[in-house]
Amino acid sequence: MGRKAKVIGLSLCLAILAFAAWHAKVSTASPVDKCLECHRATWEEAESMRYIHLPFQQKKCLHCHESRKARRQRRMEEKRRSEAQVTWLGRNPAPAKVQWLNFKADPYGATVLVEAKGPGVGVRRQRVKIPPVDDLDPLPAADAPPQIKNVRVAEVERGIFLSARIVWDTDKPATSLVRYGIKALNQNSGLDTSYTNHHEVVLTGIRSNRTYRFRVESESMGGKKAVSEEKEFSTARAFRLDDEKAFTAAGEEGELSLECKVFRGKDDQYILRVTASHPVAVSVGLVPEERDKSYGSSDSGGEVVKHIITSSDLFANITVCYTCHREYQKILSHPINVYPKPGMIVPSEYPTLDDGRISCNSCHANHASDIPFRLIKSGKKELCIGCHKDMA
Ligand code: HEC
Ligand code: HEC
Ligand code: HEC
Ligand code: HEC
Ligand code: HEC
């Protein structure tokens, strides 16, 4: 049965979704399940009520309860940890808008980090979920081998050692190899397997005052090889072609965006195509699957659990509410964050901030309630009279 050609593209939005899912997994699921191991009673009590605040039900506990400083530290720690664990697999250093990278990874799927850096546009990192290699179709094999153009010696440099930089272009992404020598082409540069249209190979350890012969080779992703004609260069003097700034990008406007697409290459390799809005250098690295992040620190010995540093009661009872109920700030007519006026006694069933000021949760139950709008008391009148005896 003919396999249906189905190239699975990971579009920008899929990558973002994958990232969002990854992010959600890290920042909520595991630490919050730990919260409930100790605060089960709080959870069950709320779940038994009719009106449950949505963010509570969605277990966004940290959103309200984690202090901002602790959050900043946790995010930095998570970032540091995930970056430290990246194993870099490949890099295309010459900026271009379309980059091809081939790499080996777990054939059953993996998560890779794509990092793009461009002159004037900064750095962008994007996580891409790679499906099992069998789910990807191979790149359509090119019928024709790549066409090699513009073969030239860009530079002969006398540093501590002598080196020569050979550059050329191909009409399709292909690998790079230079064969060279004095009498015969008996040396080679080593195969650079990254697929590119602009090739650059530096020959090191060559001798001065000689004439070298060389030839370049490029193999397409479909395995079709092209070989250039033989050329020569002399190492009698150092030189550098002027046109070599061609690849530093002209400053382009706009934000850097990336689109990644994965294909199956030779020998179960993955081939990643990165299309960028600006010319960028691209690196690809392997990110380990997210393991359950333990909450606090618990080693097999005596269990040590560090509690989260909770937010201030001002933050949990007022400030955070506005992060989701922005419109409410405009329509709210009742004063909050104020002290009761002299003579007014706030009964204990209306929670206030520690110092006695009125908060949103003086009228609204913090997590859940049986009363509509999660009010503390049923009936507006009853609610108001508790504090405003004079309204009776
Ligand atoms: C190892 C058990 C344990 C874990 C895990 C735990 N707590 Fe607590 N938590 C406590 C204890 C004990 C107290 C203090 C007694 C009380 O007020 O119930 C407390 C108090 C609190 C308080 C009220 C006091 C304050 O500091 O404002 C909040 C809010 C709270 N925890 C939230 C959380 C959240 C959110 C998580 C998960 C990120 C969590 N807790 C995880 C045991 C735990
Ligand atoms: C919308 C904000 C918000 C969310 C979301 C939220 N809480 Fe609370 N929670 C509060 C407020 C406000 C209080 C009142 C105490 C205070 O000032 O910190 C409170 C109090 C608590 C307390 C101490 C008193 C009590 O009622 O038992 C615990 C424990 C607690 N929350 C745990 C949780 C857990 C666990 C979650 C997630 C399932 C959660 N909270 C989600 C706002 C929230
Ligand atoms: C993470 C976002 C978020 C935060 C923070 C948040 N809310 Fe909400 N709140 C919601 C959502 C979502 C709803 C449901 C809206 C709907 O159903 O239309 C809601 C509903 C409500 C309602 C209507 C009754 C109900 O439970 O459906 C009240 C009252 C309310 N919130 C008060 C507060 C107060 C007070 C705070 C601060 C302690 C707060 N909210 C913080 C997201 C949030
Ligand atoms: C003095 C008591 C009181 C205070 C304080 C209070 N509310 Fe309310 N809130 C109510 C009542 C009563 C309702 C029921 C709807 C109505 O009559 O407007 C309500 C309704 C709401 C609703 C639902 C609005 C709707 O139409 O769906 C939200 C959201 C809400 N409050 C958020 C807040 C936030 C956020 C704060 C703090 C900044 C706050 N409330 C402070 C009494 C209060
Ligand atoms: C938890 C206690 C509490 C509850 C419940 C409460 N209030 Fe108030 N109210 C206060 C405090 C405190 C002030 C500010 C005191 C002052 O006037 O300086 C206030 C002020 C007011 C004012 C004067 C507003 C202004 O701009 O000066 C009005 C009107 C009012 N409340 C109406 C109500 C109504 C209506 C309800 C019921 C929906 C209600 N309150 C519920 C505590 C409460």
pLDDT at 367: 97
Q: Which of 241, 234, 179, 183 is nearest to 208 (CA)?
A: 234
Ligand 4 binding site (Cβ under 6 Å of any ligand atom): 318, 321, 325, 328, 332, 334, 336, 358, 360, 362-364, 373, 375, 380, 383
- 247-253's contacts with Cβ under 8 Å and 24+ in sequence apart are 247/94, 247/95, 247/96, 247/198, 247/279, 248/95, 248/119, 249/95, 249/118, 249/119, 249/120, 249/278, 249/279, 251/119, 251/120, 252/120, 252/121, 252/277, 252/278, 252/279
Ligand 3 binding site (Cβ under 6 Å of any ligand atom): 51, 53-55, 60, 63-64, 317, 320-321, 323-325, 360-361, 364, 373-374
pLDDT at 387: 94
199-227 tens-digit pLDDT: 989 998 899 999 999 999 999 887 889 99
Mutation test residue for ligand 3: of 53, 56, 66, the one with most atoms within 8 Å of CB? 53
Cα torsion 233, 237, 240, 241 to 10°: value is: -50
The string over 266-287, giving b where at least 16 C-beta atoms fall within 10 Å of a residue's C-beta and e elsewhere, is eeebbbbbbebbbbbbbbbbbb
d(CA 368, CA 358): 19
pLDDT at 304: 63
From the CB of 34, is ligand 2 less than 6 Å away? no
Where is mean pLDDT largest: 12-26, 27-41, 162-176? Answer: 162-176
From the CB of 388, is ligand 5 less than 6 Å away? yes
When the pLDDT of each residue in the chain is averaged and rounded to a whole number, the result is 82
Between 100 and 255, the higher pLDDT residue: 100
Q: Which of 125, 199, 201 is nearest to 168 (CA)?
A: 199
Q: 65 alpha carbon to ligand 2 midpoint, in Å?
A: 7
Q: 131 alpha carbon to ligand 1 midpoint, in Å?
A: 40
d(CA 216, CA 233): 13
Mutation test residue for ligand 2: of 33, 40, 59, 64, the one with most atoms within 8 Å of CB? 64
pLDDT at 372: 93
Mutation test residue for ligand 4: of 332, 361, 371, the one with most atoms within 8 Å of CB? 332
pLDDT at 242: 66
pLDDT band at 32 (very low <50, low <70, confident <90, very high): confident
* pLDDT of 21 above 50: no
156-197 tens-digit pLDDT: 988 788 899 999 999 988 899 999 999 999 999 999 887 888
From the CB of 56, is ligand 2 less than 6 Å away? yes
From the CB of 64, is ligand 1 less than 6 Å away? no
333-366 tens-digit pLDDT: 789 999 999 989 999 999 999 999 999 999 999 9
Tokens (6 digits) for 46: 């709320």
pLDDT at 94: 81
99-151 tens-digit pLDDT: 888 888 888 888 899 999 988 788 888 888 888 888 887 776 666 889 999 99
Q: 389 alpha carbon to ligand 3 midpoint, in Å?
A: 28
In the block, residue with structure tokens 């040590």: 304
Q: 39 alpha carbon to ligand 1 midpoint, in Å?
A: 7
* pLDDT of 285 above 60: yes
